[in-house]
Structure 1
Amino acid sequence: MGLEVESRSSDSPYIERVWRSSSDDVNRMTSIAVTHVDLVFWEHRGQVNVAVHGPESRASPAPVPEDATFFGISFSLGTSMPHLPIDRLVDGAAEIPDATRRSFWLKGSTWRRPDYDNAEVFVRRLVREDVLVRDPIVAAVLGGASPDVSERTIQRRFVAATGLTRGAVRQIHRARQAAILIQEGVPAHDVIHRLGYFDQPHLARSLTRYIGRTATQLIDQDPSEPLSLLYKT
């Protein structure tokens, strides 16, 4: 009952996560803040839909169609589709037309619909066709390198590739990590120390803004309004 979610990691540098889910007896969830772009497929009452979902700068309630199935590819941070301007996708989505159970239309071509097991093959084709690109400077910074460019250039490239500032990306990632630790039973004062929050109110504000839950609500989860995908990186 509720929202059943399964996900897996990927060895593709263009993919953060591959996931699938189904809904049953739930009509709303809390969509937590994310920094990446998702390509999402879902089927409800025989209707197939496809959309590119952009980064979400804060948590928000989201409707869930009943008895629907979903499949998504979460692209790695800094990976985007240049023909869909990232600044227009932040806190929004772009619907993809002419979707069927077999195919859909993307950037002037018909594409075979991928599935949970062959997402990497599909993404490799997107890359070959220049539909999907990854900013090398953003990738280098995330990997711990120090590119030979100015901080101002790094900030500009982060915004251009992700739609978010580098500071916003850090805050969202930290809040997601805090939520996972709290769900694992780590006391709030330890979370504050580990992740560099100033104090309890600072942690509380971060969780409310980016996760849509207080620490207590994360511990006492309500199945009638589940969270969107939250996972360890």
Structure 2
Amino acid sequence: MYAERASRLTGAVLWTDTATGSGARPVLPDGCMDLMWSEGRLLVAGPDTRPYLPQGPGRSWAGIRFFPGTAPALLGVPAHELRDRRVELADLWSAARARRLRDRIEAAPDPVTALEDIALDRAARTAAPDPLLHRLVECLDEGRPVSATAAELGIGARTLHRRCLAAFGYGPKTLARVLRLQRALALARSGTPYAETAIRAGYADQPHLARDVRELAGMPLGELLGGG
């Protein structure tokens, strides 16, 4: 059973996914990165460009999902190095440092709160998130074109692409597609008809929505919602 709640870390979400025997749910691209805990393992989930099926059925997980573009500064690694990957934190940090965090989580009564505390500690020791990247996410999530957004932000196309790779793991056009997918899923899950969902989310038409969902989620929209 999956559950989430807002974190004390701005823009972040705390979540738990407890094994129920009903099968693992695919994790869909959302523009985010996560710090995750399961049975003594501390991992980082990089930004996805395709659906990810969690390994190890029957496992329970706790995690913190960072606001898009904020995790690389907290973790000290560019997002594109972790694209479509799940990596042990000990492979990114020193083994001793990762072990101290594992011990801290294991000793805590609630793993997800311990993860949140770790993230808050990191945030207090790093520079504040880049407001330009935050504004980029806002603009693209509103459905604005990448070129118009870049012009509004006063940043060149090459510079924007380079900064997006480091912050999000991919370029701004892919980020825009991922955010549009999430808008569409939210609308469809609320009961909005697919044709209306397509227009409101920013697709040309319903077939465009169907193609994008299949490419990014790996299955038709109806199957995706029926399995969700």
- Tell me, yes or no, whether TM beats 0.5: yes
TM-score, normalisation: structure 1: 0.76
Q: In the alignment, does 2:15 pair up with 1:24? A: no
User: Compared with structure 1, are the counterparts of its residues 110 and 61 closer, same or farther at alpha carbon in structure 2 (3 Å cutoff)?
Assistant: closer
Question: CA separation in 1, counterparts of 2:124 and 2:35?
Answer: 17
Question: CA separation in 2, counterparts of 1:56 and 1:106?
Answer: 28
The match for 1:188 is 194
> How far did 1:169 drift?
0.9
Per-residue CA distance 1:19-48 (angstroms, 9 max, x = gap): 0121121444322113111100012xxxx1
Q: In the alignment, does 2:60 pair up with 1:54? A: no
- Preserved contact between residue 90 and residue 98 of structure 2 (Cα < 8 Å): no
Question: CA separation in 2, counterparts of 1:210 and 1:153?
Answer: 26
> How far did 1:83 drift?
3.5
The match for 2:60 is 69
User: Compared with structure 1, are the counterparts of its residues 162 and 183 closer, same or farther at alpha carbon in structure 2 (3 Å cutoff)?
Assistant: same
Between 119-128 and 132-141, report the one with greater CA deviation.
Answer: 132-141
Q: How does 1:40-189 map to 2 (within 5 A)?
A: 40-43=36-39, 48-66=40-58, 68-79=59-70, 80=72, 81=74, 83-97=76-90, 110-111=100-101, 112-113=104-105, 115-117=111-113, 119-130=115-126, 134-144=129-139, 146-189=152-195
Question: CA separation in 2, counterparts of 1:17 and 1:163?
Answer: 19
What is the aligned counterpart of 2:213 among 200, 207, 210? 207
Letter in 1 for 2:81: R
Secondary structure of residue in 2 paired with 1:19: strand
Letter in 1 for 2:132: I
Question: CA separation in 1, counterparts of 2:26 and 2:118?
Answer: 29
Secondary structure of residue in 1 paired with 2:77: coil
Question: CA separation in 1, counterparts of 2:53 and 2:67?
Answer: 24
Secondary structure of residue in 1 paired with 2:7: coil
Which structure's relative contact order is higher, taking Cα pairs within 8 Å and 6+ residues apart? 1
Q: Comparing both structures, which one devotes a greater share of its residues to strand?
A: 1
> How far did 1:86 drift?
2.2
Per-residue CA distance 1:146-189 (angstroms, 9 max, x = gap): 44433432232111211111111111111122122222221111
Question: CA separation in 1, counterparts of 2:165 and 2:42?
Answer: 25
Segments of structure 2 that go 5 or more residues without pairing to the other structure are 140-148
The match for 1:5 is 2
- Preserved contact between residue 51 and residue 95 of structure 1 (Cα < 8 Å): yes
Secondary structure of residue in 2 paired with 1:31: coil
> How far did 1:107 drift?
5.1
Question: CA separation in 2, counterparts of 1:133 and 1:51?
Answer: 23
Letter in 2 for 1:12: L
Between 171-180 and 57-66, report the one with greater CA deviation.
Answer: 57-66
The aligned length equals 207
Per-residue CA distance 1:28-73 (angstroms, 9 max, x = gap): 4322113111100012xxxx1111110010124333421x221001
User: Compared with structure 1, are the counterparts of its residues 196 and 34 closer, same or farther at alpha carbon in structure 2 (3 Å cutoff)?
Assistant: closer
The match for 2:204 is 198
User: Compared with structure 1, are the counterparts of its residues 106 and 182 closer, same or farther at alpha carbon in structure 2 (3 Å cutoff)?
Assistant: farther
> How far did 1:10 drift?
2.8
Question: CA separation in 2, counterparts of 1:148 and 1:109?
Answer: 43
RMSD (Å) for aligned C-alpha atoms: 2.8
Question: CA separation in 1, counterparts of 2:99 and 2:136?
Answer: 33
Secondary structure of residue in 2 paired with 1:84: coil
Secondary structure of residue in 1 paired with 2:100: strand
Question: CA separation in 2, counterparts of 1:94 and 1:133?
Answer: 25
Question: CA separation in 1, counterparts of 2:18 and 2:99?
Answer: 29
> How far did 1:136 drift?
3.6
